[in-house]
């Protein structure tokens, strides 16, 4: 059983939580009448809600129109890189994988257990494995335009497909450590992920409407960043907001946390690249 009272006190004590119901009553927020938008029904599966359900109407409009969605600048870069020869072996991604459509369904199962390393691999890890081991090329930095563009491009091939990560067999211990991370209080504000994203979706925190903290829209274009960003960047931002030490992007800690967060998102349609405030 969750300790709603304690969680609420935690957020209230930290001076973070706006009055409950602020959204419904206060039409002056950026959110307006978001719950009457018929589009949200495609982003709710059972009791799971995508971040789309808590997004402003303006960001929804942007996300749903590929010409308006700023993330597509990166998608175009990814598309270019797909066909581009790089590295000592003179290969492109297309040379081995063929048409990008051949990757439909691939991204929704990541992070995935990787035997060669005995750990979890996020999509970014696999892209770099192909670059270094199969192309003789340098790895891309996690948050580089190239990596963001390629992961957005690969995930776009699976847009609309349900997230479907496995936590069975060898993935289990990594799932458990991601779950522990999610429920661990940390930082000067002494808050855990669940205290915001399980106990308070639908409540305002400062100028933001809290969602369930799902991962099905990443990489996501954030207006605040003016850029596409990875899920690990978002984790680091949420850690810093409670004044906790962030981990490195691509670290085991964040990759295991990604597994847990994607497992929570299982069944929701892959929306990447989404748009958020
Ligand atoms: C103090 C409250 C708070 C805590 C604690 C917190 N977050 Fe967040 N998080 C936010 C806010 C505010 C946003 C932006 C609005 C939203 O989507 O909830 C956000 C957004 C997110 C998103 C993006 C959701 C989307 O659809 O774009 C993810 C994923 C996320 N958080 C994961 C986490 C994880 C994992 C942790 C624990 C390491 C965590 N958060 C801890 C407040 C918090
Ligand atoms: C020399 C051939 C080769 C090149 C070049 C190559 N790959 Fe791969 N790729 C593979 C092989 C082999 C695998 C592992 C077997 C598999 O799962 O398909 C793989 C796996 C993948 C996967 C995971 C597939 C899955 O089913 O889980 C992705 C995504 C991927 N590659 C993307 C890329 C991208 C992006 C590039 C270009 C930056 C690239 N690859 C370049 C051969 C290649």
- Give the residue extent of every domain in the chain: 4-67+164-270, 72-156
- 4-67+164-270 and 72-156 have identical folds: yes
130 tagged catalytic = no
State in Å, rounded, how far the first CA of the chain is from the last one.
32
What CA–CA distance (Å, rounded) separates 48 from 20? 21
What CA–CA distance (Å, rounded) separates 7 from 28? 27
Q: What is the mean pLDDT of the chain?
A: 92
Superfamily name with CATH number, domain 4-67+164-270:
Cytochrome c-like domain (1.10.760.10)
Query: How many beta carbons lie within 10 A of that of residue 64, not counting itself?
Result: 14
pLDDT at 161: 98
What CA–CA distance (Å, rounded) separates 6 from 180? 19
Please give the distance, rounded to the nearest whole angstrom, from the Cα atom of residue 197 to the centre of ligand 1.
Answer: 6
Mutate to test the pocket of ligand 2, among 97, 123, 127, 157 (most ligand atoms within 8 A of CB): 97
Q: What is the pLDDT of residues 116-150, one digit of tens each?
A: 999 999 999 999 999 999 999 999 999 999 999 99
pLDDT at 6: 46
Question: How confident is the model over 188-212, as a mean pLDDT?
Answer: 95
Instruction: Say if residues 63 and 271 touch (Cβ distance below 8 Å).
Output: yes
CATH no., domain 72-156: 1.10.760.10
Tell me: cis bond preceding 273? Omega within 30 of 0 counts.
Answer: yes
Mutate to test the pocket of ligand 1, among 203, 238, 241, 246 (most ligand atoms within 8 A of CB): 238
DSSP secondary structure string for all residues of 178-241: HHHHHH--BTTTTB-HHHHHTT-TTSEETTEE------TT-SEEETTTTEEE-HHHHHHHHHHH
- Ligand number nearest CA of 205 is 1
Query: How many beta carbons lie within 10 A of that of residue 225, not counting itself?
Result: 13
What CA–CA distance (Å, rounded) separates 230 from 221? 9
What CA–CA distance (Å, rounded) separates 68 from 30? 19
Question: How confident is the model over 47-60, as a mean pLDDT?
Answer: 97
């Amino acid at each position: 059983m969750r300790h709603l009272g304690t969680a609420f006190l935690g957020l209230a004590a930290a001076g973070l939580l706006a009055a409950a119901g602020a959204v419904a009553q206060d039409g002056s927020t950026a959110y307006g009448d978001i719950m009457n938008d018929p589009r949200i029904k495609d982003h709710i599966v059972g009791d799971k809600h995508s971040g789309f359900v808590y997004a402003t109407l303006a960001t929804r409009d942007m996300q749903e129109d590929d010409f308006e969605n700023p993330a597509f600048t990166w998608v175009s870069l990814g598309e270019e890189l797909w066909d581009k020869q790089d590295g000592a072996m003179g290969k492109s991604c297309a040379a081995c994988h063929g048409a990008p459509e051949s990757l439909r369904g691939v991204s929704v199962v990541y992070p995935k257990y990787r035997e060669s390393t005995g750990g979890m691999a996020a999509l970014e890890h696999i892209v770099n494995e192909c670059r270094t081991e199969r192309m003789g090329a340098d790895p891309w930095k996690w948050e580089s335009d190239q990596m963001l563009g390629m992961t957005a491009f690969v995930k776009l091939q699976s847009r609309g497909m349900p997230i479907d990560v496995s936590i069975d067999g060898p993935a289990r211990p990594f799932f458990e450590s991601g779950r522990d991370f999610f429920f661990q209080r940390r930082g000067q504000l002494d808050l855990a992920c669940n205290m915001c994203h399980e106990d308070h979706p639908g409540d305002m925190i400062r100028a933001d409407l809290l969602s369930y903290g799902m991962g099905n829209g990443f990489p996501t274009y954030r207006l605040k960043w003016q850029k596409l960003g990875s899920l690990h960047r978002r984790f680091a931002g949420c850690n810093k907001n409670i004044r906790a030490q962030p981990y490195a992007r691509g670290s085991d800690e964040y990759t295991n946390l990604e597994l847990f967060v994607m497992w929570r998102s299982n069944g929701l349609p892959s929306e990447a690249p989404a748009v958020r405030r």
